[in-house]
Amino acid sequence: MRGEIDLSLRLKKRFLELLEKDPEFKYTVAGYIGLYEILKRLDEHGGAIKELQETIKKQGEAIKELQEAVRKLGEAVKDLQEAVRDLSTKVNAIGNRYGVVTEEAFRSSIRYLVEDLLKLYKVERWIYYDSEGLVYGRPSVVEVDMLIRDGERILVEYKAYADKSDVAELGNIGKLYEKVTGVKPRLLLVAPTIKMRARSLAEELGVELRGSIID
């Protein structure tokens, strides 16, 4: 028993001597002790670290989903802004150049100008039931303003915006009027803006256009 104690004392003494005299041994022991403490603490906190990692992972997935939703919302907003910008550009272009008017207001202003300034003309409203559907392709009531001066008849259509279909409609009304009355009328289409493609058809049908031609 005493021999074991002596051996233990000798080993401790030798261990201390090595720590004091052998730098390499001393650093090896110090590194071992430090690593042991680190591993011990990692074992103690391993569960908490794992839970933290899991929480970070879930938060990362949530952030990714949020980023995707924000991206999609941004694309929708961009499309909406582009549509609004396009509509605004068109409205502003028409409004700045021609003013914003309703078809009825425009008709009233033209009628006033005709009756007040062109005293030679009388304005009437021609109304006829087109039973054969010559104008609209089906039986319907046809109405059109008419300027009268002596034997002259001018059928006038007023539009806030005119295209080929409006020219064709007035042309058909003119044919109907001639068929019913035996009088060939002049045809006049008045609008603030008239599409360029309507002009060639107007020339073909003998429709006079009054307004600004746009592309």
Residues 207 and 118 in one domain: yes
Collapse the DSSP code of 177 into the 3-class scheme (helix H, G, I; strand E, B; otherwise coil) and give the result.
helix
Residue labelled with tokens 């001639």: 178
Regarding whether 107 and 87 lie in a shared domain, the answer is no
Question: Same domain, yes or no, for 144 and 192?
Answer: yes
| Domain shared by 207 and 110, yes or no | yes
Listed range (2-11, 27-36, 78-87, 88-97) with the worst mean pLDDT: 88-97
Q: Which residue has the higher pLDDT, 73 or 114?
A: 73
The amino acid sitting at 133 is G
User: Pick the residue with more confidence: 89 or 166?
Assistant: 166
- Looking at 45, 72, 99, which one is the last position of a domain? 99
Model pLDDT for residues 99-135, shown as the tens digit of each residue: 455 555 566 556 655 555 466 778 889 999 999 999 9
Q: Distance between CA atoms of 176 and 132, rounded to whole angstroms?
A: 10
Q: What are phi and psi of 156, to 5 degrees?
A: -120, 130
Nearest-angstrom CA–CA distance, 164 and 185: 20
Average pLDDT, the chain: 75
DSSP notation for 72-111 = HHHHHHHHHHHHHHHHHHHHHHHHHHH----HHHHHHHHH
Q: Which of 59, 84, 99 is the last residue of a domain?
A: 99
Task: Provide the domain count of the chain.
Answer: 2
Residues 110 and 81 in one domain: no
Are 122 and 206 contained in the same domain? yes
CATH number at 142 reads 3.40.1350.10
Do both 174 and 148 map to the same domain? yes
Q: pLDDT tens digits, residue range 132-187?
A: 999 999 999 999 988 888 888 999 888 878 899 999 999 999 999 999 999 999 99
Q: Could you give the CA distance from residue 175 to residue 185 in angstroms, rounded to a whole number?
A: 9
Do 114 and 189 reside in the same domain of the chain? yes
Query: Do 17 and 35 belong together in one domain?
Result: yes
Q: What is the mean pLDDT of residues 37-46?
A: 58
| Domain range for 93 | 1-99
Look-up of token digits 């502003």: 92
Q: Under a CB-based contact definition with an 8 Å cutoff, are residues 115 and 124 in contact?
A: no
Q: What 3 state SS string does 18-43 have?
A: HHHHCHHHHHHHHHHHHHHHHHHHHH
What's the pTM? Answer: 0.51
Write down the pLDDT at residue 57: 78
Q: What is the pLDDT of residue 142?
A: 96
Residue 17, both tokens: 């001597």
Same domain, 205 and 117: yes
* pLDDT level of residue 193 (50, 70, 90 thresholds): confident
> What gap in Å lies between CA 88 and CA 102, rounded to an integer?
18
Least confident residue range of 39-53, 67-81, 126-140, 195-209: 39-53
Task: Single out the residue in 71, 99, 127 at which a domain terminates.
Answer: 99
DSSP string, 104-119: HHHHHHHHHHHHHH-T
For residues 86 and 120, membership in a common domain is answered with no
